[in-house]
Amino acid sequence: MKIFLDTAIVEEIREAASWGILDGVTTNPSLAAQSGRSFKENILEICEIVDGPVSAETVGLTAAEIVSEARLVCSWHRHVVAKIPCISEGLKATRALKDDPNVRVNMTLVFSANQGLLAAKAGANFVSPFIGRLDDAGHDGMELIRDLVAIYDRYGFDAEIITASVRHPRHVVGAALAGSHIATIPFKVLQKMARHPLTDVGLARFLKDWEKVPDHDTILKG
């Protein structure tokens, strides 16, 4: 499963990239606002850090506006993917952009298997089901991932599922077990994934015992 970072903060992206596990980045208007920077400047800096898809969201509400904004953001850098909301005008725009070799679409704000089915049929390259927000509303977000994996497999859709609105490490394990192609993860959740209290306890014990090795203070110094 590919790992994307769900953030517009370049410091977080730089750190995750340095771990060697980062395959892409997703942003949205709320995350762009949190960065406090010019949208284009920020997206371009992210594109230089990560060698993979970087989602930049359109805000138009008609198909014509969405198509024009999608073409614009994708012209900024070859890594940019246009993130388009799953509304009927967004589906129309996605279909219109399907044969444009310079535009890839990530259909976002997907909350049902029917929306995911329509997004794939319209030709989206990526589809983003928001599982945390479904959980918040009393549904089982992970069930949507399982349904979409089954539907796409069964009919051979090429769209890659990006499990989004990830709130905790269990969501990532669930997405991986369900067969999601990608999980887009907030930096705080990524940090939690890398840690385990028993690793910390084990390391502290090893370091303490290491001091009892006679040549401990010189042998690994080169």
Which among 39-47, 110-118, 126-134, 200-208 is the span making contact with ligand G3P, rule CB under 6 A?
A: 126-134
Closest CA to 148 of 127, 174, 166, 134: 127
Q: What is the dihedral of CA 84, 89, 91, 96, to 10 degrees?
A: -90
Instruction: Choose the catalytic residue: 2, 40, 83, 188.
Output: 83
Using CB atoms within 10 Å of the CB of residue 215, give its burial: 0 to 12 exposed, 13 to 18 middle, 19+ buried: exposed
Q: Closer to ligand G3P at the Cβ: 34 or 199?
A: 34
Choice from 4, 13, 24, 26 touching ligand G3P (CB under 6 A): 26
Q: From CA 2, how far away is CA 180, in angstroms rounded?
A: 9
Smallest gap from residue 65 Cβ to ligand G3P (A) = 21
Residue closer to ligand G3P, measured from CB, 94 or 106: 106
| 8 A C-beta contact, residue 60 and residue 68 | yes
**CB–CB of 162/184 below 8 Å?**
yes
Check if 83 is active-site: yes
State the nearest-atom distance from the C-beta of 192 to ligand G3P, in Å: 15
Q: What are phi and psi of 2, to 5 degrees?
A: -80, 150
The answer to the question of residue 12 lying near ligand G3P (CB under 6 A) is: no
Q: CA separation (Å) from 40 to 32, 52, 130?
A: 10, 17, 25
91 alpha-carbon distance from chain centroid: 21
Select from 35, 125, 165, 180 the one that contacts ligand G3P (CB under 6 A). Answer: 165
Range in contact with ligand G3P (rule: CB under 6 A) among 88-96, 127-135, 141-149, 206-214: 127-135
**Segment interacting with ligand G3P, rule: CB under 6 A, options 58-66, 96-104, 130-138, 194-202:** 130-138
Q: Which residues bind ligand G3P (CB under 6 A)?
A: 6, 26, 28, 130, 132-133, 164-165, 184
**Active centre residues (catalytic):** 83
